[in-house]
A and B are shown apart, each in its own frame.
Chain A
Amino acid sequence: MEDSRRNFLKIAGISALGLGASPVLDAFSKEEGLQTPQMIQGEKALKATHWGMVIDTRKIHSSEDLNPMIAACNKIHNIPKLETENHEIKWIWAEAYHNAFPEKETNFLNERLEHIALPVLCNHCEDPPCCRACPTQATFKRESDGVVMMDFHRCIGCRFCMAACPYGARSFNFRDPRPFIKETNLEFPTRMKGVVEKCSFCAERLAEGKLPACVEASNGILIFGDLDDDKSEVRQALRENYTIRRKQNLGTGPSVYYIV
């Protein structure tokens, strides 16, 4: 099943976003006046077998330092700014240490961590509970590089994945997000109401040989690379620094590491 789907995607020349069936895609492009997103792995595509991220929190001096990366993601991924907090869509956002790491709660946290905010996003877990829960495989782990992806056109909006994700990394479109997008990026699909979304590790940029947008905008705070390649920048950072992952005890195997 998985294989035939992947082949189909190859044939159709759309892969990274996992946009399901072509009739839907047609309707989608008509509706939006958009090109079918091109996600053929280009010649320059960045390749890895396990994409991962290291977040160097020592380089964060105030929560303002996180704004550029959050803004970059929001902008290129058409993330709406909704009126009510309940309906918020967030792919990457800022949390206090106590919220990002509630299980590591302490009264005597070092001052630096106490005063900054940490970026949080989908961890692209090695054994993602969200994918286990999904009844349609609309969210799935790409075997080739470990990115956990969303097929917006297959998702039925049951939100089982949201209950399953222990990191609150997923958002649901409680209403049509389009009127709330400031400036639509025509190169990335907008979503419809009733589906779930989350950070995609910028799969569409990796396919074009670009690093994730947040990484580029992060001023060195975020490091991105192949966790399976011991010469990669991420592995070097992991070798040289003590790192922690969110809720490690749950066995989900987050691919996002924090140097604290």
Chain B
Amino acid sequence: MLELAIKGSKRYWGWMALLAAVVGVGFLVYLQQLSFGLGITGMSRDVSWGFYIANFTYLVGVAAGGVMVVLPYYLHDYKAFGKITILGEFLAVASLVMCLLLILVDLGQPMRMLNVIFYPSPRSVLFWDMIVLNGYLFLNIVVGWNVLEAERNGTSYPFWLKPFILLSIPWAISIHTVTAYLYSGLPGRGFWMTAILAPRFLSSAFAAGPALLILLCLVVRKLTRFDPGREQIQSLAKIVAYAICINVFFFLCEVFVAFYSNIPEHTAHIKYLFVGLEGKGALVPWMWTSMGLMAVGIILLVNPVTRRQEGVLAVACVAVFVGTWIDKGLGMISGGFVPSPLHHVNEYAPTIPEILITLGIYAMGALVLTALFKMAISVKEEVAG
């Protein structure tokens, strides 16, 4: 099937070349980081994780979000999604590729990466995160590939695949749960140390993932002869609507607990993010933008009149995607580090090299995604004749 990803129009190749160029720039900057060290990023002794880990966290969510098309089809026999499960699975694959790259570029000594395997440490959540992420990548490649191959041959997928498909559903939940446990089990980090962190991560993931999938479906419909279908898109939109509402609800629970109890360790971080602390508040406008975008998303998605217009739906999905990205990609990680455990307010902002490396990784993800979608859609066009 790989040949399908190679046969393509000029437009396809132009797009791929553009992405490759961005990957190339990112790679060059990464070489610079390799030789200088992580000092070229904005991270510091106090904010020791930054843009890489934040985007990693976000994309784990996008990967997990793919399960929202797999689950209704395989568990509830919701036939309409049969057409697009492959898109969800391939989106997960591309997201996981980005996640693993983001972890790699975040390491101070990437050459020693395999130490995680040589000295397995089951008490470390990072060890389990490595297992669940690689496992989920493997599951999605195997499942996606075989289902697509079967579709091409006009048969149903091999019987041995079913357990893998079923396994991939709880596995999707696990990747984001374990990723949340990276943070929520740390004593002394009040912002993260809350049992609702994993559910909150999942709800924002189930909003962001399907929102991106809707946007991708709209693009696919525009650019190819394959139509993912109006019903499919509308069903996804309902999923996004519920998930984003739950996400905001969870956040408000967090705010209530922090401010009603008024325990400084818990309120300090939220204050820093939303009103600033000790005169420092670089993230304040971002966080309010994020809240605004999520609110707009909720209004447009919950209301059936607006949801049913695909143009408006697209706007709502962009709002949800960007809103949750700011929330998780900017606020969640630096918010947890500021103030520091010694109550110093040391702010963080990503540097240009850091952003370029991250962009390079996003371009890499887009490259993988385009190739995989190209393959899937070519099969669908072939079958449709």
Contact = CB atoms under 8 A, between A and B. Distances in A.
A172 B341 CA distance: 16
Nearest to A174: B39
A168 B341 contact: yes
Interface string B342-374: 111010000000000000000000000000000
Main SS of chain A's interface residues?
A: loop
Given A95-B342, A160-B182, A193-B108, A135 B130 contact: yes
Contacts of B124: 132-135, 160
Contact of A156 (B108, B186, B343, B344): B108
A135 B109 contact: no
Interface string A68-109: 000000000000000001111010000100111011010000
A137 to B, nearest CB: 5
Given A159-B49, A163-B48, A194 B119 contact: no
A175 B297 CA distance: 43
B112 interface: yes
Contact of B116 (A132, A136, A173, A195): A136
Interface string B107-129: 11110110110110101111100
A157 B109 contact: yes
B182 A173 contact: no
Contacts of B126: 133, 135, 158, 160
Contacts of B119: 1, 136-138, 154
Nearest to A132: B123
Contact of B187 (A129, A135, A137): A129
B49 A163 contact: yes
Contacts of B38: 157, 172, 174-175, 193-194
Contact of B342 (A88, A100, A137, A157): A100
Give chain B's interface residue range (CB within 8 Å of chain A). Answer: 35 or more
A224 B343 CA distance: 28
B269 interface: no
A156 to B, nearest CB: 5
A167 interface: yes
Interface string A119-143: 0100000000100111111100000
Among the interface residues B116, B121, B125, which one has the most CB atoms of the partner chain A within 10 A? B121
A158 B112 CA distance: 11
B340 interface: yes
Given A155-B109, A193-B37, A193-B108, A167 B187 contact: no
Interface stretch (A30-38, A206-214, A233-241, A246-254): A246-254
B37 A175 contact: yes
A137 B121 contact: yes
B36 interface: yes
A190 B253 CA distance: 48
A137 B116 CA distance: 9
Main secondary structure of the interface of B (DSSP, over half): loop
Contact of B125 (A133, A162, A193, A247): A133
A171 interface: yes
A172 B108 contact: yes
A127 to B, nearest CB: 10
A165 B106 CA distance: 19
B190 to A, nearest CB: 10
B93 to A, nearest CB: 24
Interface residues of A, number: 51
A134 B187 CA distance: 15
Interface in B277-302: none
Nearest to B118: A136
Nearest to A169: B341
Contacts of A156: 107-110, 112-113, 115-116
A164 interface: yes
Contacts of B48: 159, 162-163, 172
A171 B45 CA distance: 6
Interface of B: 36-39, 42-46, 48-49, 103, 106-110, 112-113, 115-116, 118-119, 121, 123-127, 130, 182-183, 186-189, 264-265, 336-337, 340-344, 346
26 contacts: A86-B44, A86-B346, A98-B343, A99-B343, A103-B265, A129-B187, A133-B125, A135-B116, A135-B121, A154-B115, A155-B109, A156-B110, A156-B116, A157-B109, A158-B108, A159-B49, A166-B189, A167-B342, A168-B45, A171-B45, A172-B45, A173-B37, A174-B43, A175-B36, A192-B109, A193-B38
Interface of A: 1, 85-88, 90, 95, 98-100, 102-103, 105, 120, 129, 132-138, 154-160, 162-168, 171-176, 192-196, 247, 250-252
Given A135-B130, A167-B341, A250-B187, 9 more contacts: A133-B126, A135-B115, A154-B119, A156-B112, A158-B106, A172-B48, A173-B108, A174-B38, A194-B38
